C-alpha cells in the first residue's frame, strides 16, 4: 500500500513486467528495536542482473527516515524520485558490490499494520505484499530472492523473546541501555526468499514446543508463541501443525525443510495469517482455541489456516510468484491444498462432502458476486492500482477451483505427478501461473488438460462466472437421452467478449425411483457404472446416452465439478428425487437448495405483501424426511435444512429489493420452524448430549444440528408465545460445557429476538470480558442479528460506544462494522439510507489509519447497481460521498472509483 493520497492512483500492468535490473545475493539486517524510533541497518550485496541493460538502482521505501547510504563502504550520491531511492553512480560491470543503508522508522505510529508495528507491547512485521519497503529501502518485488541474516537488539525486560526467520545462530547480552539490560539474537535463514516473507517478532511471549521426526528421521522443533495466559489454547494449533506436516509429506512427498518452525499469534492483524519462512505470524483468531472459548467452526478454521500457512512453505515460499499478478499461483494452489487437507482430516465420505459444500457456499456467496461486480478480475489479473485489493475470493477461492479442475482433468495421481514436476522444474524460482499449468500438463501428456491447455488457461485470463445451460430430451423409441450443454459468460469490466471455457461436468443419471443408472454414450460399446466427467469445450455440445428404458433424472455438476452457474429446468419432482436419493451428497444438498430458492424467488417476484406461506407442502415434507432420516449424518442434515442466504438469493435476481428478500427469507424460516416443530424438538433431544468436548466432524455435526434445532424452536416460540423453548435455551446457555453449545443457545435467543436474550448477553459479556476473541463473537452476534423493523442500526451505533469497542483493532472493527455492513443485508439496506451513511462515515474514518481494512469495508456496496430504488440512488450517493474525499488511500480510491465506473 502506498501512502500516496493525492491524484489518480498509478495503475500497474502485467504486460509491463520486466526482470529486475539488479540481483540481491545477501541481506544483513540489524535492528535496534525501539517503539518510537527503530534503527535499521541494511547491508546488502548486489550485482547487476547480467541479462538486463545497465540502469540506475531504484529502491522502494515508504515512511522511512534515511540517514546514510554507503556503496562499498564509501559515501555516494543518491536522489529521491517520489518514494524511490535512486542510485545512479554504482560500480560498472558484473562484480558484486556492498550497499549499506541506514534508516529509522516509528513502529508505534504504524496503524496500517504493514511493515514493522507494535501490538500490545510486542513488535510484529507484515511484509506481504509491499510492506518490506516500510522497514528498509529495497527492491520490494517477489522475484528478488536473497539470503538473509538478521540481528535483533532490544531491551531484555520488555522484549525477552527475539525471533526472525531461519535458525538462531547466536544470542547474548549487550551493554545496558537507558532502560536497563539489553540483549541480542542473530538469525540466519538457510533458504533464499523474497522480502515479503521476511519477519521479526520481539516481545514478551510464552510458547508451546514439540519435537517431531520427519519420515527421513530428521528432528524438527515446532513452537507456538502466544501471550502469557493463552498457552492453554495452543494445543489444537500445535496438533494441526503436526497433522499438516505429516499430510504434506504423505500426500505430496513435501517434507519440512527447516530445523525450526514457529507460529506467533497477535491480536492486531489485518488478515488471517502470514506464511513468513519459518516464522508464521497469525491473527490470534486462527491460533487460539479451547473448548470453553472457541466454537467447532473456530476449531475447523484453526486447522485449515494453520494448514494453509504451512503448505505455503512449498507452494509460495520454495516456489514463489514472479510478480503479484501471479498471486493465485500460490494462493489458489494453497487454498486447494488446505481444502484437500481438511477433507482428508475429516475422513468419512459424508464429512468430506460437508466440507465441499461449505467451500462451495463461500464461493457462491462471496466470489460469484465479486465476479459479477465492479471489482471483477481474472484469477490472474491484468492490472491493479493497489495490490492489497487483490487478495480476493477470486484469487483465493476461484483460484482453488481452477486448480481443482486441473486435478479433475488429470486425476488425483496425475495431479501429484504434476506437483512433483512443478517442484523439479521451479524449486527456488519465482514463476507464473502458466508455469504451473504447463508442469501439470507435461506430467500428464495423455490427459484432457494437456490436450486442451491453451483453452483451459482461459480460466486464468477471463473474469466472470460462466453459465452452463443443460437441456435433456428423452426419446422413448430410441431409448436415448440427449443432453445439450451450452456455455456463456457475461461481460466484465474491460472484457466484453469471452471465449468458451474448458468445463468438466461430472454427472450421473438416476431413474425415477432414484436408482443410479449405468451410463453409456452412443459411441461406447459398454455401459459404465457411477459418475462420469464430460468435458465441455465448445459453446454448445450434445451428448447422447443410450439404453435407457425411461426418462432419467440427470444429476449434473456433481461435487460442483466447475465454478459455474448451472441452469437446468428441473421439475420439482426431479429435485425431490435427487434430494432423496442422489448418491452424490453435494447434489443432494444442491437439490434442496434449488427447491428452496425457486420458492423464495417466486415469493419475492410476486406482487403484493409477502405471503406467510412461501414453502410448499412437498418441500416441507422432504425437509421433515431429511431431519428424521436415520442414515444421514447430522452435519449434512444441518446444511440441507439451512436455507440459501439472503446474499445468494439476491445474486439470482436482476433487481434486488433487500427488504423483500429479508422478509421472504424470514417467512420461510418461520414456516420451517413451525411446520417441523415436533421434528426439531426430537432432533434437539437426540443430538444435545455429546459427551466430553471433541471438535471431530461427528460430534461437531451433532452440535450444529442441535443448535439449528434450538434456533428453530425459539423462532417458533416467538410466534406462539410459548415460553418453554426459550427457557430451555437459556438453561442450555448457562449449563453448556463448551462454547459451541453456549453460543448456539445465545444465538437462538438473540436470533429470535426473545426477551431473555438481553439477560443472556449481559451474562455472556461478564463471563468472557477478558477473552478478546469471545468478545468479538459477542459484538458480531448483535450486529449480525436478524433485523426487525430497523432495530439493528441503533444497536450497532451503541456497540461502537461500548468501552470494549476499539476501532483500531481490526478483529473488533470487523466484529461490529463488517458484521453489520457486509453480513447483515436485511439490516444494512434501509429505505432511509441510514445504513449507507453509517458505512460511508466508517470507511472514511478507518481509511485515515488503516487503508487495507477500510478498502475491505468499502466493498460492501459493490453490487449497488442491482439494487431497487430507493436503495440504488442512496447507495450511489454514499459511494460518491466517499469518492469525493480528497485524501483517500489508493486502496479505497480504487474500490470506489471502480464501483462508480459505467
Catalytic residues, by residue number, are: 309
Quick one: which of 230, 268, 323, 331 contacts ligand B3K (CB under 6 A)?
331
Other CB atoms within a 10 A radius of the CB of residue 892 amount to 26
635: which 3 cell numbers?
A: 452435519
Q: Taking CB within 5 to 8 Å according to partner kind, which of Zn ion, ligand B3K, none is near residue 847? A: none
CB 379 within 8 A of CB 399: yes
Please state, in angstroms and rounded to a whole number, the distance separating the CA atoms of residues 862 and 424. Answer: 42
Q: How far apart are CA 141 and CA 545, in angstroms?
A: 53
Which span (272-280, 518-526, 549-557, 610-618) binds ligand B3K, by CB under 6 A? 272-280
Piece of the chain touching ligand B3K by CB under 6 A; list 56-64, 267-275, 343-351, 876-884: 267-275
815 binds, among Zn ion, ligand B3K, none (CB under 5 to 8 A by kind): none
Element (H, E) at 155: strand 145-155
Residue of 34, 60, 155, 309 interacting with ligand B3K (CB under 6 A) = 309
Tell me how many residues contact ligand B3K (CB under 6 A). 12
Query: How many Å is the maximal CA-CA distance in the chain?
Result: 95
274 binds, among Zn ion, ligand B3K, none (CB under 5 to 8 A by kind): ligand B3K
The stretch near Zn ion (CB under 5 A) out of 222-230, 327-335, 700-708, 754-762 is 327-335
Cβ of 833: how many Cβ atoms within 10 Å? Answer: 18
CB of 336 to ligand B3K, least distance (A): 13
Q: Work out how close the CB of 312 gets to ligand B3K at its nearest, in angstroms, rounded to a whole number.
A: 6
Binder of residue 129, out of Zn ion, ligand B3K, none (CB less than 5 to 8 A by kind):
ligand B3K
CA–CA gap between residue 368 and residue 346 (Å, rounded): 26
C-alpha cell at 234: 495452543
Please say whether the beta carbons of 468 and 502 come within 8 A: no
Number of residues that bind Zn ion (CB under 5 A): 2
* Shortest reach from residue 674's CB to ligand B3K, in Å: 43
Q: By C-alpha distance, which of 326, 310, 185, 301 is closest to 252?
A: 310
- The answer to whether 577 touches 561, Cβ cutoff 8 Å, is no
Interaction between residue 308 and ligand B3K (CB under 6 A): yes
Q: Name which position in 118, 224, 241, 274 contacts ligand B3K (CB under 6 A).
A: 274
To which H or E segment does residue 81 belong?
Answer: strand 79-81
CB 265 within 8 A of CB 280: no
Nearest CB to Zn ion, comparing residues 155 and 331:
331
Query: How far is Cα 595 from Cα 573, in angstroms, rounded to an integer?
Result: 10
388 binds, among Zn ion, ligand B3K, none (CB under 5 to 8 A by kind): ligand B3K
Task: Please identify, among the stretches 330-338, 359-367, 728-736, 853-861, the one whose residues bind Zn ion according to the rule CB under 5 A.
Answer: 330-338
* Dihedral over Cα of 9, 14, 15, 21: its sign: positive
Distance, CA of 560 to CA of 558 (rounded, Å) = 5
Q: Which is nearer to Zn ion, 154 or 271 (CB)?
A: 271
Sorted by sequence, the CB contacts under 8 Å of residue 471 that are 6+ apart come out as 483, 484, 486, 568, 569
Query: Least distance (Å) from ligand B3K to the CB of residue 453?
Result: 27
Q: What is the DSSP string of 599-667?
A: HHHHHHHSSSSPPS--S-HHHHHHHHHHHH-SSS-HHHHHHHTSPPPHHHHHHT-SSB-HHHHHHHHHH
List of E strands, 398-466: 430-431
Q: How far is the CB of 337 from Zn ion (least distance, A)?
A: 10
The least CB distance from residue 582 to Zn ion, in Å, is 33
Task: Return the number of the residue (331 or 633) whose C-beta is nearest ligand B3K.
Answer: 331
Q: How many Cβ atoms from other residues are within 10 Å of residue 93's Cβ?
A: 9
Least distance (Å) between residue 655 CB and ligand B3K:
34
Q: Does 129 bind ligand B3K (CB under 6 A)?
A: yes
Chain residue whose CB lies nearest ligand B3K: 128
Report CA-CA distances (Å) from 714 to 524, 673, 709, 717.
56, 8, 9, 5
Decide if residue 271 touches ligand B3K (CB under 6 A). yes
Contact, 330 vs 611, CB < 8 A? no
Task: For the CB of residue 356, give the shortest distance to Zn ion in the complex, in Å.
Answer: 20
Q: What is the DSSP letter of 563?
A: S
**Nearest approach, Cβ of 197 to ligand B3K (angstroms)?**
9
Distance, CA of 817 to CA of 842 (rounded, Å)? 8
- From 326-334, 464-472, 482-490, 521-529, give the range in contact with Zn ion by CB under 5 A: 326-334
Q: What residue 582 binds from ligand B3K, Zn ion, none (CB within 5 to 8 A, per partner kind)?
A: none
Distance separating alpha carbons of residues 315 and 336, to the nearest angstrom: 11
By beta-carbon proximity to ligand B3K, the closer residue of 310 and 589 is 310
> What's the min distance (Å) between Cβ of 130 and ligand B3K?
9
196 or 456, CB closer to Zn ion? Answer: 196
Closer by beta carbon to Zn ion, 234 or else 334:
334
Interface with ligand B3K, residue 386, by CB under 6 A: no
128 binds, among Zn ion, ligand B3K, none (CB under 5 to 8 A by kind): ligand B3K
Q: Which residues pair with 84 in a beta bridge?
A: 60, 81
**388 contacts ligand B3K (rule: CB under 6 A):** yes
Which of 273/896 has CB closer to ligand B3K? 273
- Considering the complex, state which of residue 124 and residue 391 has its C-beta at the smaller distance from ligand B3K: 391
Does 391 engage in binding with ligand B3K (CB under 6 A)?
yes
Identify the residue among 62, 155, 275, 651 touching ligand B3K (CB under 6 A). Answer: 275
When the beta carbons of 381 and 707 are compared against Zn ion, the nearer one is 381
User: Nearer Cβ to ligand B3K, position 274 or 717?
Assistant: 274
CB of 317 to ligand B3K, least distance (A): 10
Among 128, 189, 448, 772, binds ligand B3K (CB under 6 A): 128
The rounded Cα 822 to chain-centroid distance in angstroms is: 15
When computed from its CA atoms, the radius of gyration of the chain, rounded to whole angstroms, is 28
Report the C-alpha gap between 870 and 759 in whole angstroms.
37
Residue 371 near residue 464 (C-beta atoms within 8 A): yes
Binding site residues, ligand B3K, CB under 6 A: 128-129, 271, 273-275, 308-309, 312, 331, 388, 391
Binding site residues, Zn ion, CB under 5 A: 331, 334
Amino acid at each position: 500500500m502506498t501512502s500516496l493520497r493525492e491524484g489518480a492512483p498509478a495503475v500497474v500492468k502485467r504486460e509491463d513486467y520486466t526482470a529486475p535490473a539488479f540481483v540481491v545475493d545477501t541481506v544483513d539486517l540489524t535492528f535496534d528495536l525501539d517503539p518510537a524510533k527503530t534503527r535499521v541497518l541494511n547491508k546488502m550485496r548486489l550485482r547487476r542482473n547480467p541479462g538486463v541493460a545497465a540502469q540506475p538502482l531504484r529502491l522502494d521505501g515508504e515512511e522511512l527516515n534515511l540517514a546514510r547510504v554507503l556503496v562499498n563502504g564509501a559515501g555516494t550520491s543518491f536522489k529521491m524520485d517520489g518514494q524511490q531511492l535512486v542510485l545512479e553512480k554504482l560500480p560498472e560491470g558484473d562484480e558484486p558490490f556492498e550497499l549499506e543503508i541506514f534508516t529509522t522508522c516509528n513502529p508505534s505510529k504504524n496503524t496500517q499494520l504493514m511493515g514493522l508495528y507494535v501490538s500490545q507491547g510486542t513488535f510484529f512485521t507484515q511484509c506481504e505484499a509491499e510492506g518490506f519497503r516500510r522497514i528498509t529501502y529495497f527492491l520490494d518485488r517477489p522475484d528478488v530472492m536473497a539470503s538473509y541474516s538478521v540481528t535483533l537488539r532490544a531491551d531484555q525486560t520488555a522484549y525477552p523473546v527475539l525471533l526472525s526467520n531461519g535458525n538462531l545462530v547466536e544470542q547474548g547480552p549487550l551493554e545496558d541501555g537507558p532502560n536497563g539490560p539489553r540483549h541480542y539474537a542473530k538469525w540466519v535463514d538457510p533458504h533464499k526468499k523474497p522480502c515479503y516473507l521476511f519477519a521479526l517478532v520481539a516481545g514478551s511471549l510464552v510458547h508451546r514446543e514439540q519435537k517431531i521426526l520427519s519420515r527421513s528421521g530428521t528432528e524438527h522443533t515446532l513452537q507456538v508463541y502466544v501471550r502469557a495466559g493463552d498457552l492453554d489454547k495452543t494445543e489444537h494449533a500445535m496438533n494441526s501443525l503436526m497433522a499438516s506436516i505429516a499430510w504434506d509429506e504423505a500426500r505430496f512427498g513435501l517434507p519440512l525443510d527447516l530445523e525450526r518452525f514457529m507460529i506467533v499469534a497477535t491480536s492486531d492483524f489485518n488478515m488471517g495469517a502470514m506464511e513468513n519462512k519459518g516464522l508464521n505470524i497469525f491473527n490470534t483468531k486462527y491460533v487460539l482455541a479451547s473448548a470453553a472459548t472457541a466454537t467447532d467452526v473456530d476449531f475447523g478454521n484453526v486447522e485449515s489456516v494453520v494448514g494453509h500457512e504451512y503448505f505455503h512453505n512449498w507452494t509460495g515460499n520454495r516456489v514463489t510468484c514472479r510478480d503479484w499478478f501471479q498471486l493465485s499461483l500460490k494462493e489458489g494452489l494453497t487454498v486447494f491444498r488446505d481444502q484437500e487437507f481438511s477433507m482428508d482430516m475429516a475422513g468419512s465420505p459424508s464429512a468430506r462432502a460437508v466440507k465441499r459444500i461449505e467451500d462451495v457456499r463461500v464461493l457462491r456467496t462471496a466470489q460469484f458476486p465479486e465476479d459479477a461486480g465492479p471489482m471483477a478480475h481474472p484469477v490472474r489479473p491484468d492490472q491493479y492500482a493497489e495490490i492489497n485489493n487483490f487478495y480476493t475470493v477470486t484469487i483465493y477461492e476461484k483460484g482453488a477451483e481452477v486448480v481443482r479442475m486441473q486435478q479433475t482433468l488429470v486425476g488425483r495421481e496425475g495431479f501429484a505427478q504434476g506437483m512433483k514436476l512443478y517442484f523439479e522444474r521451479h524449486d527456488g524460482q519465482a514463476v507464473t501461473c502458466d508455469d504451473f499449468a504447463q508442469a501439470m500438463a507435461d506430467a500428464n501428456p495423455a490427459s484432457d488438460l494437456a490436450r486442451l491447455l491453451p483453452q483451459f488457461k482461459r480460466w486464468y485470463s477471463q473474469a466472470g462466472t460462466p453459465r452452463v445451460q443443460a437441456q435433456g430430451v428423452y426419446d422413448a423409441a430410441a431409448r436415448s437421452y440427449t443432453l445439450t450443454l451450452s456455455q456463456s459468460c457475461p461481460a466484465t469490466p474491460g472484457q466484453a467478449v469471452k471465449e468458451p471455457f474448458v468445463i468438466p461436468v461430472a454427472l450421473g443419471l438416476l431413474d425415477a425411483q432414484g436408482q443410479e443408472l449405468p451410463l453409456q454414450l452412443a459411441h461406447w460399446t459398454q455401459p459404465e457404472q457411477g459418475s462420469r466427467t464430460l468435458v465441455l469445450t465448445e459453446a454448445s455440445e450434445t451428448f447422447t446416452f443410450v439404453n435407457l428404458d425411461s426418462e432419467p433424472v440427470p444429476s449434473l455438476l456433481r461435487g460442483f465439478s466447475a465454478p459455474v452457474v448451472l441452469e437446468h429446468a428441473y421439475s420439482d419432482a426431479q429435485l425431490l428425487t435427487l434430494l432423496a436419493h442422489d448418491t452424490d451428497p453435494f447434489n443432494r444438498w444442491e437439490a434442496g437448495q434449488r427447491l428452496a430458492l425457486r420458492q423464495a424467488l417466486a415469493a419475492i417476484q410476486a406482487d403484493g405483501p409477502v405471503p406467510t406461506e412461501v414453502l410448499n407442502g412437498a418441500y416441507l415434507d422432504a425437509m421433515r424426511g431429511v431431519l428424521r432420516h436415520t442414515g444421514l449424518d447430522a452435519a449434512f442434515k444441518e446444511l440441507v435444512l439451512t436455507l440459501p442466504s439472503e446474499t445468494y438469493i439476491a445474486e439470482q435476481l436482476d433487481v434486488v429489493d433487500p427488504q423483500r428478500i429479508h422478509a421472504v427469507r424470514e417467512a420461510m424460516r418461520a414456516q420451517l420452524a413451525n411446520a417441523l416443530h415436533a421434528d426439531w424438538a426430537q432432533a434437539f433431544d437426540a443430538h444435545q448430549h455429546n459427551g466430553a468436548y471433541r471438535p471431530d466432524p461427528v460430534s461437531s455435526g451433532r452440535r450444529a444440528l442441535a443448535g439449528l434445532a434450538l434456533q428453530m424452536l425459539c423462532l417458533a416460540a416467538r410466534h406462539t408465545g410459548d415460553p418453554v423453548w426459550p427457557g430451555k435455551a437459556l438453561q442450555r446457555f448457562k449449563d453448556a460445557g463448551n462454547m459451541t453449545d453456549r453460543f448456539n443457545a445465545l444465538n437462538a435467543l438473540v436470533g429470535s429476538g426473545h426477551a431473555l436474550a438481553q439477560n443472556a448477553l449481559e451474562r455472556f459479556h461478564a463471563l468472557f470480558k477478558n477473552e478478546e476473541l469471545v468478545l468479538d463473537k459477542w459484538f458480531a452476534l448483535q450486529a449480525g442479528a436478524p433485523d426487525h423493523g430497523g432495530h439493528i442500526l441503533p444497536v450497532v451505533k451503541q456497540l461502537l460506544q461500548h468501552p470494549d469497542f476499539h476501532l483500531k483493532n481490526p478483529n473488533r472493527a470487523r466484529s461490529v462494522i463488517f458484521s453489520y455492513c457486509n453480513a447483515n443485508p436485511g439490516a444494512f439496506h434501509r429505505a432511509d439510507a441510514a445504513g449507507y451513511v453509517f458505512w460511508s462515515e466508517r470507511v472514511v474514518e478507518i481509511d485515515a489509519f488503516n487503508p487495507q481494512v477500510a478498502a475491505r469495508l468499502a466493498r460492501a456496496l459493490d453490487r449497488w447497481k442491482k439494487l431497487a430504488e430507493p436503495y440504488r440512488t442512496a447507495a450511489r450517493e454514499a459511494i460518491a460521498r466517499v469518492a469525493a474525499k480528497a485524501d483517500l488511500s489508493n486502496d479505497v480510491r480504487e474500490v470506489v472509483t471502480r464501483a462508480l465506473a459505467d
